[in-house]
Amino acid sequence: MNLVFAIAIGAIFGAGVYLLLQADLLRVVTGLALIANAANLTLMASGLSRGQSPILPLTGDEPVSDPLVQAMTLTAIVIGFATTALLLALAVVLYRRRHSVDLDDLSREEAAASARDETEEPALDPWRDVELVESDEPEGAPR
């Protein structure tokens, strides 16, 4: 049973990392959701024990199975759900603003925007700087 869990966790985590490295926002979010589930499964696997259900009154001397991991996993699922929802919301906002879900497009636009800012940014030397600005030369223009 341990081996099955280990292989499943490894496969899910690997698939998650693969998706995380894609350029598509939604794939990234899906990848993260998979990693979250790999973590949940690890939590479950950390308390695999056979025994009677842990509800009082106990019957007989049979050992009790570990209830704690299930409580923890439940909490972790809720947290994973919240983070996935938040990430999807962020992806929607990004799509509305930039009309693309491709991370390369987004970072290209970002770079273009910061290059525009850079043009207006004055040089470090305060005295030389005054002349440069007054001469109205676009300092960060394409070289």
The C-alpha atoms of residue 104 and residue 32 are separated, in whole angstroms, by: 19
Q: Between 62 and 111, whose beta carbon lies closer to another protein?
A: 111
Residue 26 tokens read as 């939604």
Q: Between 7 and 113, whose beta carbon lies closer to another protein?
A: 113
141: Cα separation from own chain's centroid: 36
Q: Between 62 and 90, whose beta carbon lies closer to another protein?
A: 90
Query: What's the closest the beta carbon of residue 1 comes to another protein, in angstroms?
Result: 14
Place of tokens 């049973």: 1
Query: What's the closest the beta carbon of residue 126 comes to another protein, in angstroms?
Result: 5
Query: What's the closest the beta carbon of residue 4 comes to another protein, in angstroms?
Result: 16
The C-alpha atoms of residue 35 and residue 116 are separated, in whole angstroms, by: 37
The C-alpha atoms of residue 18 and residue 8 are separated, in whole angstroms, by: 15
Q: Between 52 and 75, whose beta carbon lies closer to another protein?
A: 75
- Give me the phi and psi of 73, to 5 degrees please: -65, -40
Q: Which residues pair with 102 in a beta bridge?
A: 24
Query: What's the closest the beta carbon of residue 52 comes to another protein, in angstroms?
Result: 19
Of 56, 59, 12, 18, residue with least CA distance to 37: 12
- Interface with another protein (CB under 8 A): 20, 25, 28, 32, 35-36, 38-39, 42-43, 45-47, 68-69, 72, 75-76, 79, 82-83, 86-87, 90-91, 93-94, 97-98, 106, 109-110, 113, 121-122, 124, 126, 129-130, 133
